[in-house]
Amino acid sequence: MLELWVDALPEKLAKIDATTCQDFLRLIENQSVVLCTEKTNTEWNDFVNEWQTIFDKILGIGKFEACRTYWLMPRSKEKKPGDYNAQTFLSETPDQLLRIALERKQEPVVTNAMEFVNQFGMFTSGSKQITVFDRYLLSIQEQLMHLTESGIEYQTDFQQKHFNRQIHSLNLILRSLPESVVELKIYSDMLSWRIFRNVALLKGIETSKEEYYTWASNSFEARKAAMKCIFEGLIRKNIPTTITFIDCFQPNSQYTNMEHDRFVNYSQNRSFISSGGFNNVWSAVSEDELEKTDLHPKTFMIQVPDTAPTPPNLRMIHKDCIVPN
């Protein structure tokens, strides 16, 4: 990802290349370019307005406004020798800017909770609603099964310790959300024929897909109880947030017509993929331990132009609002 410092304004508007300006704004929107500054927060808003005046003169009113959100959340860091100034590129032809942006496009691996929070928050900045698709994030097949001598029944009496990994992973997502987000939707596969069969076999119980499908089709109350328990373990400070858990249950536990299942939709129908998914922390993460908490598995977060359609077999299992104390 290409970092460009924007602390200095172009001196002569006549030398600015309009096509490069368009590409510059597009690269910011695509998050191939990150804006950096050494200015303080109090200085920054007025400075953004000065940049907007320049772009409005070159490109016309409206082009800058479309990506203003990214300008309002620059990366604050010290500028070092060899770092690039944005004003230098704006007087060049587009080829040079694009070439360097592509050279820097290789995304760093996200290895710990701090990096996860920063990357997730940067991608979703300015969004009001976030939708997460992850097949395994709410996988609770084993917890729902109550094996008896007469067969496989439903467990409905839960404690939060039964869902530690789901709760910790969801709380990391909630910690990562920008303040603008007031709604979070989670699409996941709560049930699994493979897990159902394996758990039964460990207890010496032979099953069939037909038996599983009948069991799964009647499991709504158990799923609902589990999601309620998970919801009660979720925390978001300061901001009321509506959370919806949606199950994509199908007999063969596949996402029909869904190309990816580890991606996030955010504002203006944009998306990014997390290669390692979002079910990747095993313990509670405090604010001062974010950097010390490793992700398992590690992941890459990469913006993608399009996402596959929502799967057809859906059922909302639980919806509620976190109300901060």
The torsion defined by the Cα of 155, 161, 167 and 172, in degrees rounded to 10, comes to -170
Q: What is the pLDDT of residue 256?
A: 40
Q: Do the bridges between strand 84-85 and strand 2-5 make them parallel or antiparallel, or are there none, so unpaired?
A: parallel
On the question of pLDDT at 283 being above 70, the answer is yes
Tell me what percent of the residues of the chain surpass a pLDDT of 90. 40
Distance (Å, whole) CA 19 – CA 27: 12
- 318 within 8 A of 228, measured Cβ to Cβ: yes
Q: Quick one: which of 158, 232, 152 has its CA closest to 196?
A: 152
Distance (Å, whole) CA 239 – CA 323: 7
pTM, full prediction:
0.67
Of 9-23, 141-155, 173-187, where does mean pLDDT reach its minimum? Answer: 9-23
Strand partners of residue 271: 265, 304
Q: Quick one: which of 3, 88, 7 has its CA closest to 43?
A: 7
On the question of pLDDT at 98 being above 60, the answer is no
Q: What is the pLDDT of residue 19?
A: 75
* pLDDT tens readout for residues 71-81: 887 888 888 88
* pLDDT tens readout for residues 220-265: 999 999 999 999 999 998 899 999 999 987 665 444 444 446 789 9
Among 8-17, 77-86, 170-179, the range with the most confident prediction by mean pLDDT is 170-179
Of 22-36, 86-100, 120-134, where does mean pLDDT reach its minimum? Answer: 86-100
Rounded mean pLDDT of the chain? 84
Distance (Å, whole) CA 12 – CA 80: 25
Q: CA dist 87 to 77, 135, 208, Å?
A: 18, 44, 66
